[in-house]
Amino acid sequence: MGVGIRALHPYVGRICVDIRTLYETRGHDMSRFGNLMMSRKSVNMPFEDAVTNAVNAALPLVRRLSPAERDRIEAVVVATESGVDLGKSLSTYVHHYLELSPRCRSFEVKQACYGGTAALHTAVGMVHASPYDDALALVIAADSAGVPALGEQWEGAEGAGAVAMLVGREATTLEIDLGAHGFHTFEVMDTFRPGPGIDVVNQDVSMLAYLECLQRAFTAYRDRVDGADIVDSFAYLAFHTPFVGMVRGAHRRLLRQQRQAGQHEVDSDYEQRVRPSQEYGAEVGNIFSASLYLALCSLIRHGSFPEPRRVGLFSYGSGCASEFFSGVIHPRAVEDLAALGVEEALAARRPLTVAEYDSVAKDGDRAQFGVREAVFDLDEYGDLGKEFTGRGLLVLDRIEGYHRTYRWS
């Protein structure tokens, strides 16, 4: 086995909202609802942010390591578009609360939803170049919608959460095909965040950019990897998932471009090779820099891996940057992820009424970037706060002079 992901774990939150109920309450055009292909989305409480999401995703992985293995973590790389400071990286907080060795690189990566992939490949490169065969890196893609786009059509797609990945040699989860990459990038203002709590979204431009990048990134991959074929080369595919329906449409277009596939072949291929990666996204929503890696978690749990099988992965980040790459999922990945109880965590989320969701969302700016002073008390949120009490999750306690202090619930 080569370099890649040795273990991964998603944090899917403690509360959620039903998207159909949300859209019906908002009075949206329900003829468009089916295009989302989503059921629920995870929601952060006001005392959660990208730091808490990151730590809560990584903690189960770190706890499984021996003290000696923890000390072998040479880098903590956090990808986010929900940063809390222009200079100080999220990784400094994450490193502190995970109690990792000070002999460690620590930095943050940003490029919209592509950030998780940039962080992963950076860590893979560091581990691959290390003279120490047992070197490890911790990569976390973590985001928080903060104040959701209340009332907008894309509101239902905005999720919250994180995915943590332990990177090293002897990759028993996803062994990266080194050098097998296709890239495509250009400047476009499709989706961007020019200030705290401000999301500017041009849905049509973003979808067109995504589709163009998928086609051109795979073409670049095919040019680099002799004999690469979108159907024959990969047992499964996993894509960045703004919403599940977007992936279905992108897959259809790609197969028609690459294989001149008819509708029956497209539908059959989607159900067999793509849908297993979409189950978690339909429950959690778009978690931005972590979206592709939530799809990877879903694929591991809902695909079939009796032997090592190659998968194709597509990462896209608005602005934009994209990459198609590949790797091999090993059978051990299935039992390792199953032991971490992702299905149980999804089922345990407390469903919100739309009124509760609106109340939580409107209070989300208390933990936004740029907040100077704030104090958070779980008790003031009643039953919702109790969803965290006694569960050993990291929560935001206070902000004093811009410095964030966290505590275990």
Task: Give the DSSP H or E segment for 179.
Answer: strand 174-185
Tokens 């990134």 belong to residue: 217
Token output for 253: 């277009």
What residues act catalytically? Answer: 81, 113, 240
CB 288 within 8 A of CB 163: no
Helix (H, G, I), strand (E, B) or coil at 400: strand
Residues 6+ apart with CB under 8 A from 160: 13, 41, 42, 43, 44, 48, 53, 143, 144, 145, 284, 285, 287
How close are the terminal C-alpha atoms of the chain, in Å? 39
Q: Which amino acid is at 22?
A: L
Token output for 243: 């919403």
Question: Distance (Å, rounded) from C-alpha 233 to C-alpha 221?
Answer: 12
Residues 6+ apart with CB under 8 A from 2: 169, 171, 175, 176, 178
Tokens 């931005």 belong to residue: 288
* Phi, then psi, of 65 in degrees rounded to 5: -90, 145
Number of H helices, E strands in the chain: 14, 17
Task: Give the DSSP H or E segment for 321.
Answer: strand 321-329
Crossing angle of helices 291-302 and 115-129, rounded to 10°? 80
* Phi, then psi, of 402 in degrees rounded to 5: 75, -10
What residues does 374 pair with on adjacent strands?
399
Helix (H, G, I), strand (E, B) or coil at 248: helix
Show the beta-strand stretches assigned E in 46-109.
Answer: 73-79, 105-109
Question: Distance (Å, rounded) from C-alpha 251 to C-alpha 228?
Answer: 16
Give the residue among 41, 173, 190 at the shortest CA–CA distance from 113: 190
